[in-house]
């Protein structure tokens, strides 16, 4: 069997395996609208922590509880439906896997058409198959960042509505109707849930699960505590809103000061692959030694590990928590 046929068979086999797993995952859960209806009628919880007692709600979690690397990985990729909802896309697991497989196959064929050889084609196919996931993560990050920026205005709007005599539910409806995406969608869902009989505490807990935002946890905790112990909720929300504004002001200054470091990291990480492609196009035999010679393979592995370590170090330097 020729190497080309072997590579194609392996690629198709792996893609079929991933597609089969995706079909199994999709078959074990309901559709998007069924999940939304179940969440609204409280027949199915978004998380086991919402199983009843208020002591197991958001109050039982530390506000500054930051998940570890593996916890964040499984939280982000273990529930693709939640990931798609956070990214505000209409994708399903099956469609997403099909798109990823198609993009990967396109990268594989493109490498062969451009004459990059049988050693580069699988690597390029694997790299391009990750592009849909990167796009979803980019949309998710951008949507969550916009939600965080809108939250201070929403809290001040709720505080003003409470001072004018509106109920908390009416204030949330005001946010849902007067503000733009994405915060209007989340508060609209909270308003719908409590209209259908779900307690406001559980509805807020559901929103904190859908939107992993620390400031939102402050808001949910303040509302739940105020309902239990009493107090001036409007004043509390004003203070939380001002705190969010000041924190984003400091964050903007930090982003400006670390911009050079982030740009340097992007250039340093992009330079080796771009240089390799240029050398391969100019002299394929010279660059192919890295894939055929045992020492070349070790050098590639060492270069990949060094780039990964460098990326982690640069990210650690420029990622300043505010």
- Enumerate the domain spans of the chain: 143-244, 258-322
50 in Cβ contact with 202 (< 8 Å): yes
Beta-carbon contacts of 149 under 8 Å, excluding residues fewer than 6 positions away, are: 248
pLDDT lower than 70: segments of the chain: 1-78, 117, 322
Rounded Cα distance between 202 and 222, Å, is 14
Against a cut of 0.95, is the pTM above it? no
- The residue behind tokens 């939250």 is 151
The dihedral through the CA atoms of 296, 297, 298, 302 has a sign that is positive
Element (DSSP H or E) covering residue 111: helix 93-113
d(CA 94, CA 75): 19
The pLDDT score that the predictor gives to residue 64 is: 54
Residue 139: how many other CB atoms lie within 10 Å: 16
Q: For position 55, what pLDDT does the model report?
A: 41
- The predicted structure's pLDDT at residue 142: 92
Question: What letter would DSSP give residue 54?
Answer: G
In the chain, the percentage of residues whose pLDDT exceeds 70 is: 75
Please check whether the domain covering 143-244 is classified as CATH 1.20.81: yes
What is the per-residue pLDDT across 161-196, written as a single tens digit (0 to 9) for each?
Answer: 999 888 888 999 999 998 888 899 999 999 998 888
In this prediction, residue 71 carries a pLDDT of 47
The predicted structure's pLDDT at residue 104:
85
d(CA 45, CA 50): 6
3-state secondary structure 2-26: CHHHHHHHHHHHHHHHHHHHHHHHH
Instruction: Count other C-beta atoms under 10 Å from residue 66's C-beta.
Output: 9
């Amino acid at each position: 069997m020729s190497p080309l046929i072997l590579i194609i068979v392996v690629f198709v086999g792996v893609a079929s395996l991933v597609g089969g797993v995706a079909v199994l995952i999709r078959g074990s859960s309901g559709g998007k609208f069924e999940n939304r209806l179940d969440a609204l009628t409280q027949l199915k919880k978004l998380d086991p922590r919402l199983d009843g007692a208020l002591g197991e709600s958001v109050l039982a979690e530390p506000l500054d509880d930051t998940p570890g690397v593996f916890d964040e990985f499984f939280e982000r990729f273990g529930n693709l439906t939640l990931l798609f909802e956070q990214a505000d896309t209409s994708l399903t697991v099956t469609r997403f896997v099909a798109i990823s497989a198609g993009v990967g196959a396109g990268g594989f064929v493109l490498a062969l058409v451009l004459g990059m050889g049988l050693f580069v084609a699988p690597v390029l196919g694997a790299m391009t198959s990750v592009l849909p996931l990167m796009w979803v993560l980019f949309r998710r990050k951008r949507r969550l960042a916009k939600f965080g920026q809108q939250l201070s205005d929403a809290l001040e709007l709720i505080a003003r509505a409470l001072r004018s005599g509106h109920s908390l539910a009416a204030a949330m409806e005001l946010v849902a109707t007067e503000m733009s995406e994405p915060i209007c969608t989340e508060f609209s869902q909270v308003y719908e849930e409590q209209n259908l009989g779900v307690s406001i505490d559980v509805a807020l807990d559901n929103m904190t699960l859908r939107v992993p935002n620390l400031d939102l946890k402050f808001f949910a905790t303040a509302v739940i505590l105020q309902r239990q112990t009493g107090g001036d909720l409007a004043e509390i929300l004003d203070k939380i809103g001002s705190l969010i504004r000041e924190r984003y002001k400091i964050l903007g200054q930090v982003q400006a000061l670390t911009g050079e470091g982030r740009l340097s990291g992007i250039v340093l990480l992009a330079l080796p692959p771009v240089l390799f492609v240029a050398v391969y196009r100019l002299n394929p035999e010279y660059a192919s030694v890295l894939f055929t010679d045992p020492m070349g393979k070790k050098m590639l592995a060492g270069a990949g590990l060094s780039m990964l370590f460098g990326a982690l170090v640069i990210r650690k330097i420029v990622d300043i928590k505010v």
